[in-house]
Amino acid sequence: MNKQRGLSDKAFDKLNTFFVFLIVIVIIYPLIFVISASISDPAAVSSGEMWLWPVDITFEGFKLVFNNDAIWLGYRNTIFYTILGTIIHLVILLPCAYALSRKEMMAKKLILWFILFTMLFNGGLIPTYLVIKSLGMVDTIWAIVIPNVVGAWSILVARAFFQQSIPDQLVEASKIDGASDFYIFRKIVLPLSLPIIAVMALFHAVSLWNQYFTALIYLSDSNLYPLQLILREILIVNEIGGEGMEGGAGLAESLVNQVKTAGLVKYAVIIVSSLPLLIVYPFLQRFFVKGVLIGSVKE
Amino acid sequence: MRQKKAGGNPAIKKNRLHLTKKNFLKSWQLYVFLLPALTYFIIFHYIPMYGVQIAFKDFYATEGILGSPWAGFDHFTRFFDSYYFWRLLKNTLIINLYQLLLFPLPIIFALMLNELRNGPFKKWSQTLTYAPHFISVVVVVGMLVAFLDPITGLLNHVIMALGGESVPFLTDPDWFRHIYVWSGEWQSLGWGTIIYLAALAGVNPELHEAAKVDGATRLQRIMNINIPSILPTIVVLFILNIGKFMSIGFEKVLLMQNTLNSETSDIIQTFVYQTGLLEGQYSFAAAIGLFDSVINIILLVTINQIARKTSENSLW
């Protein structure tokens, strides 16, 4: 009996390992393909000759990408938006979450509901657009970094962290010593909260780096375009001719019109835009995982 | 402080008021901490909620929200009566239901990862399958465009090598939903396991030991110990998923949409974007958007209610 079970468990193990392996391959294959395609001869890629390893290695695609001013500008803009947006995110989020984590805070429930309600209901695309337009934020960097700068979810997560990891006695003892809340927050709470600061900054930075829609609706000045909007033109608009949304389409045109190299540029530009995050995340994985987990803890 | 409050004998009320004031003065700085966030929520969330009234008006930019004349439910009836209403509703519902059907996949994958006995292999599997989560929608759709191209795309090369005919995946309405949903699954499968894996790590090992003694197989232990143990997590995540119903992935749909596949790719939110921001019919688009949010809230509240009655796991 026992032996039989040992045997079937072994078979289970082997089968399970095999299927996990298969899933990992399926998920990772498109990425390997893109990497190989970016340094292969475009003719070999479009003919299907290249399917796993690079064929006729060439770095022309990267050269074209690096010599393209629009891409550089987009890159610079994205970095700038990501850094600025993340800083504003933290400046708004952390004090608010800390204040809501304090016992002595009055009307806490009411304020929390006020914030949480925005998760349940929002004005929607058009009313929000009208507000941002009337504030004169259209075609400025503020339209990119301010809307969605902080969500109710982040506040809940950061608050949960403060509640769990800032000992009450510590804050109370400092207060008895005459420290103000500003002082306590700066000198005691923040140094103890580096993990949550990292988590929150990373999540927000990733979403800023990858967003295109806000830029699409609020920016028409191509000098302000973030990388994702330029990518959209190179990868999608010029390829299948997305309809009805021109707006600076000429930007990448000169580049993409060279039909022969279009395929090459396509893959190189995917690499250039996605690589920073793909290289960084494995090292910061524990922070990301932590973020997901604190976020899942119920009130 | 607490004790003082409780011990107050005659003038409790007065005392309490005094304490509230004292409390506020003592911690006024905490309220300053709230100001930036509350200002943000008022301006960018509550003012738009107030602005929703343009759904019931004929909004003219020159008149402003208050000055524009009322239109009652005109925009709503116009939307409900239009020929595209049913198409939009159907497309929106189908694509969301399709996505919801894949809800068990990350659970299954997490159960599989959890059974791996080889530590490094498990770790690598996790890290590698998280990767697509960090890729932007623009790049994902760009990759789809490249892979699924009827002439140069890899998939069509394979189909043709096997003797089939090239399929115009991205311009064929029949393919749109499959491509949308499965490319989304590619992005989120690995990432979606994180919460379940954490829940599985919390399963009491003694349960497994006891089951082993009783002669339970691996599969039996998964079915009878692991799955019931993570059931609360599953229910909460399921409700959260429903909460996002009607509102998922519209930015990706917008990127994948073209005139040829619009028969299935037109969803309520892309329509709001198109009529509102591209055509400038603000009031009409706001009405459609409002209709969308209302359905969403009703769904979330209903599901939460059902979950609370049946399983004691709910969001509130």
pLDDT digits (tens, 9 = 90+) for A235-275: 887 665 443 334 444 444 544 444 455 667 889 999 999 99
Q: Is the pLDDT of residue A214 over 70?
A: yes
On whether any CB of chain A is under 8 Å from the CB of B182, the answer is no
Residue of chain B nearest A93, judged by CA positions: B37
Distance from CA of A8 to the nearest CA of B (A): 8
- Nearest CB among A27, A96, A129 relative to B186 is that of A27
* pLDDT score at A245: 39
* pLDDT score at B159: 92
Strand segments, DSSP code E, in chain A are: none
Structure tokens that stand for A265 in this block: 């540029």
* pLDDT score at B32: 92
Task: Give whole-number Cα distances, A171 to A5, A180, A184, B72, in Å.
Answer: 56, 10, 7, 54
Chain A partners within 8 Å of B275 (Cβ): none
B57 forms beta bridges with B70
Burial of A109 (0-12, 13-18, 19+ CB in 10 A): exposed
- Nearest CB among A209, A270, A282 relative to B142 is that of A270
CA dihedral A147, A149, A151, A156 (to 10 degrees): -160
* pLDDT score at A130: 93
The correct answer on CATH 2.40.50.180 for the domain covering B85-141+174-311 is: no
Residue of chain A nearest B157, judged by CA positions: A48
What ipTM score was computed for the predicted complex, to two decimals? 0.87
A179 vs B43, which has greater pLDDT? B43
Distance from CA of B207 to the nearest CA of A (A): 17
Instruction: From first to last of the 316 residues of chain B, give the pLDDT tens digit.
Output: 344 444 445 556 667 677 677 777 777 888 999 999 999 999 999 999 999 999 999 998 888 888 888 988 999 999 999 989 999 999 999 999 999 999 999 999 999 999 998 889 999 999 999 999 999 999 999 999 989 988 888 899 999 999 989 899 999 999 999 999 999 999 999 999 998 999 999 899 999 999 989 888 888 899 999 999 999 889 888 877 876 766 667 899 999 998 899 899 999 999 999 999 999 999 999 999 999 888 888 887 888 788 778 766 666 6
Look up residue A249 and give its DSSP letter: G
Q: Do B131 and A27 touch (CB under 8 A)?
A: yes
Q: Do B44 and A130 touch (CB under 8 A)?
A: no
What part of B 227-266 touches A (C-beta under 8 Å)?
233, 236-237, 251, 254-255, 257-259
On whether any CB of chain A is under 8 Å from the CB of B194, the answer is yes
Residue of chain B nearest A227, judged by CA positions: B138
Q: Give A43-54 pLDDT, tens digit per residue.
A: 888 888 888 889
DSSP secondary structure of B20-65 = HHHHHHHTHHHHHHHHHHHHHHIIIIIHHHHHGGGGGB---TTTHH
Q: Do A102 and B47 touch (CB under 8 A)?
A: no
Task: Sketch the domain layout of chain B as residue ranges.
Answer: 1-47, 85-141+174-311
Q: Give A133-175 pLDDT, tens digit per residue.
A: 999 999 999 999 999 999 998 998 899 889 888 888 888 888 8
Whole-prediction pTM: 0.87
* pLDDT score at A6: 62
Region A203-208 average pLDDT: 93
On whether any CB of chain A is under 8 Å from the CB of B145, the answer is yes
* pLDDT score at B180: 95
Q: How confident is the model at residue A95 (pLDDT cuts 50, 70, 90)?
A: very high
Test the B interface: residue of A240, A269, A273, A285 with most B CBs within 10 Å: A240
* pLDDT score at B12: 63
